[in-house]
Structure 1
Amino acid sequence: MTAELGGLQRAIWEGSIPLEIRLAGAECRTFDDSDPYMIQYPRLTYLPFLLPRLHAFFASALIDPSSAPSDGWFECDGVPLKWHYPVGLLYDLYAGAEPFSQEAGDKNQDGLPWRLVVHFSDWPDESLVKPDAEGKTVHDAFVNSVKEADFLRNGTAKAVMSLSKEDSTNLWQSVESRKWTRFRRVRHANARRQTASRSSTASTRSCSAITVRRCATYP
């Protein structure tokens, strides 16, 4: 059972989505279009990690070459994408949605590759909070999401909050670098803390809550 669980966890970790990313037409000086950037991208990571390489890829086509990678943001069918959501979650939320453009929907019935547009200007302030150039905001958002997940599962976030500085750094770097072995070491250490915490409180349950996904259908 342990081996099967470990295999499942690794399969989830290694899940990926093909992306086709184009530069926004209004920001492109090559006939309002440019070659797309194609990549097989991990589900359990974040779009801002792509911005430096996207900025370099589209640099020759940018109308405003003074823009910075940290100015970048993504949209899907005209909807700005929340940068603090993992790519897999964003895909699940938007790839199955009815496209605003019927023409776009006809061309890409299966949703793959997932077609996105990247901008390096006109940040959508009403929809997104802009992260800092150093990436600290992205890091903090990730840490908060891990705490929330731990609390939902166990009724407390003590295990995550008690991670050593080294483990906390390794956890974040494992997401940045996609290193399974580094992530697994931190996960095992956290699991031991959770087991010890449950034992100290004489809890007989493996977790106090489970997460659910609520789907609503609107007319």
Structure 2
Amino acid sequence: MDAVQEEVWLGSIPVCVELAGDEVVGAKAPRPYWAMVPRMSYLPTLAGALRTHFSDSIAQLSYRGGLKRVDEDSEGTEEEPGFSRVWFSAPEPLRWQRPAGVLYDACGGGSLPWRVVVHFSNYPRSLLDLEEDTCERTFFHALKQAVHLETGTARAALVMPRVQQSALWKAVASGDRAAFAAADVKNESPLEAPPRSVPVRLVLEAGKTVVQLPFSAYDSRGRKRTLGETLLDGDRLEFLTDASALRAHAVDLDPDLPLIDTWKALRHADHFLYVLVSHTQR
């Protein structure tokens, strides 16, 4: 399991980030921003570097009134002009609260580099439907949910000192597995002990829908339940009746794999196992 986790954490995606066409000022678009983004990380971790890289364009757009505050038309919330919330599209708006690897796979994978467009204005709130929150807080919210499913309580995540939280998020952002392991949630029971429930997020409809479900790792006889028994159970999960394939980290998963072992090997930094579900074409 440890060797597989090491390989998973080493995975990165070459990304070419271009400025949105409607935010280009002048006849020539600025040069793209290139980065290797760890699959375990999140696109918003690039926000600071992107603001610096596209600072001239942002300044010109802001000067000409092209940048609006995030909630300019709402009461009680303002942001500094020119620094509206960063969002991404490829070509549809990307739900930035999901790990970069999950986003890339949900978009179909395909040729590299992954070409992504960055936007600094006109945040599509109705499409993204995300809470007023930062990526870091969203990550920790997911981590607390997963730990609660694993142990029956989120206490281990809730009592983390701020310095430990900072170290954990820095490790996630940089894809540093050793640093992550040192700062990760320390449950009262070791990882080898079976979790009360296995935290799973099923990614459906080209990444537009995520279904979060807890699954038991063992059946009534104490036998390890397989992916097929849990995730392809059409009687329990009607929307998976015609599912044809399961994938995680761009790898097809054998339905006969034990769920608990797959979770231990392929889970993300927020302790969730993200599984992309493909459906039979009708």
Give 1:10 shift: 2.7
1:43 aligns with 2:105: no
Q: Provide TM-score, normalisation by structure 2.
A: 0.57
Q: Does the Cα contact within 8 Å between 2:164 and 2:183 map onto a contact in 1?
A: yes
Amino acid at match of 2:165: S
Give 1:163 shift: 3.1
Q: Which residue of 2 aligns with 1:75?
A: 89
- Distance in 2 between residues matched to 1:14 and 1:214, nearest whole Å: 20
Q: Does the Cα contact within 8 Å between 1:51 and 1:69 map onto a contact in 2?
A: no
Count of residue pairs the alignment pairs up: 189
1:9 aligns with 2:5: yes
For residues 129-182 of structure 1, give each alpha carbon's deviation from its aligned partner in whole angstroms, at most 9, with x where no partner exists. Answer: 5676xxx62222111111222234445434323434443332223223544433
Bigger helix fraction: 1
Report matched runs for 1:1-219 at 5 Å.
5-31=1-27, 33-62=29-58, 63-65=60-62, 67=67, 68-77=82-91, 79-96=92-109, 110-129=110-129, 137-187=134-184, 190-191=186-187, 193-195=188-190, 206-210=194-198, 211=200, 213=275, 215-217=277-279, 219=282
Can you give the 5+ residue segments of structure 2 that lack an aligned partner in the other structure?
68-81, 201-230, 232-274
Amino acid at match of 1:76: A
1:71 counterpart SS class: coil
Amino acid at match of 1:209: S
Q: Does the Cα contact within 8 Å between 2:13 and 2:113 map onto a contact in 1?
A: yes
**What value does the CA root-mean-square deviation take over the aligned residues?**
2.9
- Distance in 2 between residues matched to 1:18 and 1:89, nearest whole Å: 14
Can you give the 5+ residue segments of structure 1 that lack an aligned partner in the other structure?
97-109, 199-203
- Distance in 1 between residues matched to 2:83 and 2:177, nearest whole Å: 27
Give 1:12 shift: 1.8
Bigger strand fraction: 2
1:80 counterpart SS class: coil
Q: Provide TM-score, normalisation by structure 1.
A: 0.72
Amino acid at match of 1:50: L
Percent identity between the aligned chains?
Answer: 30
Seen in structure 2, the aligned counterparts of structure 1 residues 56 and 130 have a Cα distance that, compared at 3 Å, is farther
